[in-house]
C-alpha cells in the first residue's frame, strides 16, 4: 500500500497535466447558447426603426410559416459579412425579421444601402430587451422560428456560405 | 481581393469589441431612488455573469451589453419583482451559466460537494500526520532525507 502511495503525487501530476494539455489543444466552447430552443418565442412588440419598414410583433410568428429572426446591428462587422447570405435567402422567399440592436435609423439606413436589405421588418431593440428575451448573447445571431411561433434553432455568429445548408435544413424542418 | 477584405473585416469582428456608440440606458449607471431596492438590485447584479466578458459580473463589466442588463435588472426590481424572479427569467433564457450562484442540481452537485470533500481529505491527512503516535513517524527525522 505504502509503495503504491509513493506514486500518488506523480499520478496526480500526470492527471492535472493531462487535463491542462487537453484544455490547451481543445479549448472549450466560448459561445453562450440560448436556452430558448424548443420554447415558444418570447412575446414582444418592437417599434419600427425605419420609416416605411414595419416593426416586429411576436404575435405574427404563429401564422403557419417558418421564418428567421436575425439579431444584428449596423455597427457590427460580421453582420456585413453575413449580408450576402441573408440576401440569398431573401431571394429564396424566406422571410427574415431583423432585431436591430442598439441602433439608430441613420446608421441602419447606411448599412442597408451598402449591404442590401433582406428584412421584411426591422424592430428597434434599443436597449437589447428583446435580445435578452431570446437568450442571445451577441450580434449577429439568427434564430429559426417555426409556423407555430416556436424557436427551433439558433445560429451563433455570422451566417457564412458554409452555414447555409444547416440553416435551410432547420427552416425545412420548421415547416 | 474580396476574400481578403472579408477576412480583414472578420479580423475585427470580435463582438466583445463591437460598440454601438450610443449612450447607455438610464439605469445602467444610475442607482434606483429606493435604497432598499438598489441594494437588492446591486446584490443580484454581482451574481450575474456578463455574457460578453464571461469572467466578470455585470456589476463589474464595462461592456455595453452588461450596461443594458444592469438597466434591465434595475427596471424589473423597481417594478416590484424579486431578485429571484429576475434571476429565474434570465436562467430561463441563458441557462444556469448566466448566474454565479448556480442552483443545486445533479449537474452542479460536484461544485457544491468539492469544498466539503477537500476539507474532509485535509482532516484525514491532518489526523494521520498529527493525530496518531505510531512509531514509524517518531524520532526518525534524523535518518530521513
CB within 8 Å: B20 and A102: yes
Residues of A with CB under 8 A from a CB of B: 30, 32-36, 42, 73, 75-78, 80-81, 101-104, 126-129, 132-135, 137-139, 158
* % of residues, chain B, pLDDT over 90: 65
**Chain center to CA of A10:** 45
| The predicted structure's pLDDT at residue B103 | 81
Q: What is the pLDDT of residues B101-140, one digit of tens each?
A: 888 888 888 888 999 999 999 999 999 998 765 555 444 5
Between B9 and B1, the more confident residue is B1
CB within 8 Å: A32 and B54: yes
Q: How many other C-beta atoms lie within 10 A of the C-beta of residue A146? A: 22
Peptide bond connecting A140 to the previous residue in cis, omega within 30 degrees of 0: yes
Q: What is the pTM of this model?
A: 0.81
For the CA atoms of A73, B61, B12, A171, the dihedral, rounded to the nearest 10 degrees, stands at: -40
Interval B31-49 mean pLDDT: 97
Q: Which residues of B23-56 are buried (b: 16+ CB within 10 A; e: fewer)?
A: ebbebbeeebeeeebbebbbebbebbbbbbbeee
| The predicted structure's pLDDT at residue A139 | 95
Q: Which of B45, B44, B73 is nearest to B58 (CA)?
A: B45
Q: How confident is the model at residue B14 (pLDDT cuts 50, 70, 90)?
A: very low
Interval A73-95 mean pLDDT: 97
CB within 8 Å: A138 and B51: yes
| The predicted structure's pLDDT at residue B5 | 62
Q: Strands of B18-76 (E only): list them.
A: none
* % of residues, chain A, pLDDT over 90: 91
Q: What is the pLDDT of residues A18-60, one digit of tens each?
A: 999 998 988 777 889 999 999 999 999 999 999 999 999 999 9
**pLDDT over 90 (residue A108):** yes
Backbone angles phi, psi at A75, to 5 degrees: -95, 10
Interval A133-160 mean pLDDT: 96
Name the minimum distance, in Å, from the CA of B36 to any CA of chain A. Answer: 25
CB within 8 Å: A104 and B22: yes
How many contacts, defined by CB atoms under 8 Å, are there between A and B?
Answer: 83
| Contact residues, chain B, for A103 at CB < 8 Å | 20, 22
Q: How many other C-beta atoms lie within 10 A of the C-beta of residue A115? A: 17
Interval B83-89 mean pLDDT: 97
| The predicted structure's pLDDT at residue B11 | 55
Q: How many CA atoms lie within 13 A of A171 on its CB side?
A: 20
Q: Are A46 and A134 in contact (CB under 8 A)?
A: no
Q: Are A44 and A58 in contact (CB under 8 A)?
A: yes
- What cell numbers appear for B74 in the block? 434595475
As a whole number, the mean pLDDT across chain B is: 85
| The predicted structure's pLDDT at residue B102 | 81
CB within 8 Å: B13 and A36: no
| The predicted structure's pLDDT at residue A27 | 76
As a whole number, the mean pLDDT across chain A is: 95
- Listed in sequence order, the residues at least 6 apart from A99 whose beta carbon sits closer than 8 Å to its beta carbon are A46, A56, A69, A70, A71, A72, A122, A123, A125, A130, A131, A134
Q: How confident is the model at residue A127 (pLDDT cuts 50, 70, 90)?
A: very high
Amino acid at each position: 500500500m505504502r509503495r503504491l502511495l509513493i506514486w500518488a503525487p506523480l499520478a496526480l501530476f500526470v492527471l492535472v497535466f493531462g487535463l491542462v494539455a487537453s484544455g490547451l489543444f481543445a479549448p472549450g466552447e466560448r459561445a453562450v447558447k440560448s436556452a430558448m430552443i424548443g420554447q415558444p418565442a418570447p412575446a414582444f412588440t418592437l417599434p419600427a426603426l425605419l420609416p416605411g419598414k414595419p416593426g416586429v410583433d411576436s404575435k405574427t410568428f404563429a401564422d403557419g410559416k417558418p421564418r428567421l429572426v436575425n439579431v444584428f446591428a449596423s455597427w457590427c462587422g460580421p453582420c456585413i459579412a453575413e449580408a450576402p447570405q441573408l440576401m440569398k435567402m431573401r431571394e429564396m422567399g424566406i422571410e427574415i425579421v431583423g432585431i436591430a440592436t442598439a441602433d439608430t435609423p441613420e446608421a441602419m439606413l447606411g448599412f442597408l444601402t451598402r449591404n442590401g436589405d433582406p428584412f421584411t421588418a426591422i424592430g428597434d431593440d434599443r436597449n437589447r430587451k428583446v435580445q435578452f428575451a431570446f437568450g442571445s448573447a451577441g450580434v449577429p445571431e439568427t434564430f429559426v422560428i417555426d409556423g407555430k411561433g416556436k424557436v427551433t434553432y439558433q445560429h451563433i455568429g455570422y451566417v457564412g456560405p458554409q452555414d447555409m445548408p444547416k440553416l435551410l435544413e432547420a427552416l425545412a424542418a420548421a415547416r | 481581393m474580396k476574400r481578403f477584405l472579408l477576412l480583414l473585416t472578420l479580423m475585427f469582428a470580435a463582438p466583445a469589441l463591437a460598440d454601438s456608440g450610443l449612450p447607455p440606458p438610464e439605469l445602467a449607471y444610475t442607482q434606483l431612488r429606493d435604497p432598499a431596492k438598489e441594494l437588492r438590485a446591486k446584490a443580484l447584479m454581482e451574481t450575474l455573469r456578463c455574457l460578453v466578458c464571461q469572467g466578470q459580473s455585470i456589476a463589474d463589466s464595462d461592456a455595453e451589453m452588461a450596461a443594458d442588463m444592469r438597466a434591465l435588472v434595475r427596471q424589473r426590481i423597481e417594478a416590484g419583482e424579486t431578485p429571484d424572479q429576475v434571476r429565474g427569467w434570465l436562467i430561463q433564457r441563458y441557462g444556469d451559466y448566466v448566474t454565479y450562484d448556480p442552483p443545486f442540481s445533479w449537474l452542479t452537485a460536484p461544485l457544491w460537494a468539492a469544498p466539503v470533500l477537500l476539507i474532509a481529505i485535509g482532516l484525514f491527512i491532518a489526523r494521520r500526520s498529527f493525530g496518531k503516535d505510531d512509531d514509524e513517524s517518531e524520532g526518525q527525522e534524523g535518518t530521513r532525507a
